[in-house]
């Protein structure tokens, strides 16, 4: 079983547009899929589950859509995500939360604090996250610490410090790129691309990817 699976949840906007709904309706549906797939991943034995929920670029979308995403974050981090905490999952935010309103920052801090002893798994949610910004931040912290700059010391200052690198990154929605997600951590990650729009992504498709992962031969540059 892969230890760490990460997901780029793409296609919410198109899912909504196809139904003549506003884009924010796609994000609302996308959260339902997120909750169901995350639960399923932990039930399957995955230890680390990471999702790209809000990129550093997403904040430049129209205010109506940004506000809808912030509202969903406010709502779900104070309610549905607590079910994960109750089952021993540690909730961890990757990214620069200072962008969000104070009440949202407080909600994020609270759930992280309350779940930090969770030992059944780690649920990373990337919010106002960009991998290049993450690497630049890590190097700044590292230089300030006076430690030697090595591959391992950089890792320790990333938002995913002390976590294994992702075994799998899944991107839904048809595009085949990483879009500034986990660039440092994905050096040897197996990539899976699906044409399914995120709100339609199913547990069944997730399981099919697990089967395909087992068929891949990971050589890490060796023979
Ligand atoms: C990409 O679809 C998806 C996003 C930009 C946001 C994903 C966010 C969620 C699923 C919900 C986050 C909320 C919580 C509570 C974690 P897109 O809008 O780029 O879709 P498109 O490519 O079809 O336009």
10 given a catalytic annotation: yes
Go through the chain and tell me how many residues it has.
Answer: 223
| 205: nearest Cα among 177, 180, 173 | 173
Q: To the nearest 10°, the Cα dihedral for 17, 10, 92, 104? A: -30
- Location of structure tokens 């079910």: 83
Residue 112 CA, ligand 1 centroid: distance in Å? 22
Rounded to the nearest whole angstrom, what is the distance from the C-alpha of residue 145 to the centroid of ligand 1?
Answer: 36
Residue identifier of the C-alpha nearest atom 11 of ligand 1:
31
Express each pLDDT in 49-70 by its tens digit: 999 999 999 999 999 999 999 9
Task: For ligand 1, atom 1, name the residue with the nearest CA.
Answer: 10
CB 13 near ligand 1, within 6 Å:
yes
CB 127 within 8 A of CB 53: yes
Q: What does the domain layout of the chain look like in residue ranges? A: 4-130+165-215
Q: For residues 4 and 167, what is the distance between their CA atoms, to the nearest angstrom?
A: 5
Fold of 4-130+165-215: Undecaprenyl pyrophosphate synthetase (3.40.1180)
Q: Is 16 in the pocket of ligand 1 (CB under 6 A)?
A: no
pLDDT at 212: 96
Pocket perturbation via mutation, ligand 1, pick of 8, 9, 32 by most ligand atoms within 8 A of CB: 9
* pLDDT tens, position by position, 85-140: 999 999 999 999 999 999 999 999 999 999 999 999 999 999 999 999 999 999 99
Distance CA 20, CA 22 (A): 7
> What percentage of the chain reaches a pLDDT higher than 90?
96
For the chain, counts of helices (H) and of strands (E): 8, 6
Mark whether 180 is an active-site residue.
no
Cα–Cα–Cα angle for 168, 45, 27, nearest 5°? 60
- Whole-prediction pTM: 0.96
């Amino acid at each position: 079983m892969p230890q760490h699976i990460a997901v780029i949840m793409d296609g919410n906007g198109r899912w909504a547009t196809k139904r003549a709904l506003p884009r924010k309706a796609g994000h609302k549906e996308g959260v339902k899929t997120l909750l169901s797939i995350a639960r399923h991943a932990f039930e399957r034995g995955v230890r680390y589950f990471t999702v790209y929920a809000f990129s550093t670029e997403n904040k430049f979308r129209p205010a109506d859509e940004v506000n809808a995403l912030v509202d969903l974050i406010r709502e779900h981090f104070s309610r549905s995500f607590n079910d994960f905490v109750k089952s021993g999952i540690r909730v961890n935010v990757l990214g620069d939360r200072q962008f969000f309103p104070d009440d949202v920052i407080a909600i994020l801090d609270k759930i992280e604090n309350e779940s930090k002893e969770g030992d059944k798994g780690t649920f990373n949610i990337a919010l106002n996250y960009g991998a290049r910004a993450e690497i630049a931040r890590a190097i700044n912290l590292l230089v300030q610490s006076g430690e030697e700059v090595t591959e391992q010391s950089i890792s320790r200052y990333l938002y995913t410090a002390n976590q294994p690198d992702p075994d799998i990154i899944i991107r839904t929605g048809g595009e085949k790129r990483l879009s500034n997600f986990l660039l440092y951590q994905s050096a040897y990650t197996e990539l899976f691309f699906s044409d399914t729009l995120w709100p339609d992504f199913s547990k069944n498709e997730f399981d099919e990817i697990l089967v395909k992962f087992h068929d891949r031969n990971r050589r890490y540059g060796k023979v």
